[in-house]
């Protein structure tokens, strides 16, 4: 039996990168998946590829009425919601705090934090009534340590997501609803091209370049892939994780675990070598 047989899942930001791969793997694991994004043509192409267990709804998670409609439509069509993966994101302002544009700051927070809050707000009402459900929020290693994002605003937003996850988990757990987050490390997707200002189509082509660039960024000698996050989401959506609540699962190949062994050993070699100069 597939790990998500009979479950109904909602995935936001499902038209590319981590979201698209998660839609694909959830369907393969037996779930009925309603996914959303802003690019209708891409969404419909994914539906055609994956078949009747995938359904696309055009949604901008920065707009409360659209998020409410997504949750309401899913419940109306399927009678239940077993899982919500709040994955939708966007680039955030780069550069010094002295140069942050307020309008860009507000918009990025409305997507990165507001979209997560809205998804939980409306899914929670359904899941609490059901007495079960799993909410998964997409965080980042940038939520844990400074300097792991090109944007301090993005880092702060993801830190808010991770802590909001914990806070909501304490409330919803009492109703049988679990809330957890996943913090990806260096995952080779088009989001980095978008941050660099490339148009969507060209940005998606940068993933192959990033596989090489990220191969040595962590102790495990390969880049992180969208399926690494998708498999973690499958686990949190499944009954296998039924006693996990309020946790953030870091999926980063060990990137923020500490100083890399080879780097540490080289530093020690140089330090001990310098001792030889003592007369």
Given the structure tokens 């109703």, which residue do they identify?
Answer: 175
Per the prediction, the chain carries an average pLDDT of 94
pLDDT surpasses 90 at 166: yes
∠ CA 46-177-106, nearest 5°, is: 60
Give the residue among 55, 19, 57, 21 at the shortest CA–CA distance from 38.
Answer: 57
Q: Helix or strand or coil: residue 83? A: strand
The CATH class of the 8-277 domain is alpha beta
Q: How far apart are the first and last CA of the chain?
A: 71
Q: What is the pLDDT at residue 279?
A: 57
Mean pLDDT of 91-101: 96
Of 211 and 120, the structure prediction assigns the larger pLDDT to 120
The answer to whether the pTM exceeds 0.85 is yes
CA distance 179 to 172: 7
Of residues 35, 122, 154, 192, which has the active-site annotation?
A: 154
Q: Each residue of 176-203: pLDDT tens digit?
A: 999 999 999 999 987 777 777 777 777 7
Would residue 107 show up in a list of annotated catalytic residues for this protein?
A: no
Alpha helices in 131-239 (DSSP H): 152-172, 191-195, 200-204, 207-213, 226-237
Mean pLDDT of 128-156: 97
Categorize the per-residue pLDDT at 278 as very low, low, confident or very high, splitting at 50, 70 and 90. Answer: confident
Mean pLDDT of 156-174: 98
How much of the chain exceeds pLDDT 90, in percent?
A: 84
Q: Each residue of 16-44: pLDDT tens digit?
A: 999 999 999 999 999 999 999 999 999 99
Q: Each residue of 64-84: pLDDT tens digit?
A: 999 999 999 999 999 999 999
pLDDT surpasses 90 at 204: no
């Amino acid at each position: 039996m597939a790990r998500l047989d009979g479950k109904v899942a909602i995935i936001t930001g499902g038209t590319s990168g981590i979201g698209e791969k998660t839609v694909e793997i959830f369907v393969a694991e037996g779930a009925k998946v309603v996914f959303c994004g802003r690019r209708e043509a891409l969404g419909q192409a994914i539906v055609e590829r994956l078949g009747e267990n995938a359904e696309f709804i055009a949604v901008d998670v920065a707009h409360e009425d659209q998020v409410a409609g997504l949750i309401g439509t899913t419940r109306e069509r399927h009678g239940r919601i077993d899982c919500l993966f709040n994955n939708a994101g966007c680039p955030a302002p780069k550069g010094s705090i002295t140069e942050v544009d307020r309008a860009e700051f507000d918009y990025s927070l409305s997507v990165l934090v507001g979209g997560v809050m809205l998804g939980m707000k409306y899914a929670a009402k359904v899941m609490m009534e059901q007495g079960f459900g799993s909410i998964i929020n997409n965080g980042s290693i940038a939520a844990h340590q400074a300097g792991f994002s090109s944007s301090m605003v993005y880092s702060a937003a993801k830190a808010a997501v991770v802590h909001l996850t914990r806070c909501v988990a304490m409330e919803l757990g009492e109703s049988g609803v679990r809330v957890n987050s996943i913090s990806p490390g260096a995952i080779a997707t088009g989001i980095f091209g978008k941050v660099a200002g490339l148009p969507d189509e060209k940005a998606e082509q940068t993933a192959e370049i990033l596989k090489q660039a990220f191969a040595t960024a962590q102790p495990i000698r390969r880049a992180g892939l969208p399926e690494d996050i998708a498999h973690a989401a499958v686990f949190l959506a499944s009954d296998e994780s039924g006693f996990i609540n309020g946790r953030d699962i870091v999926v980063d190949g060990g990137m923020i675990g500490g100083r890399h062994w080879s780097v540490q050993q080289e530093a020690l070699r140089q330090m001990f070598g310098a001792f030889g100069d003592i007369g």
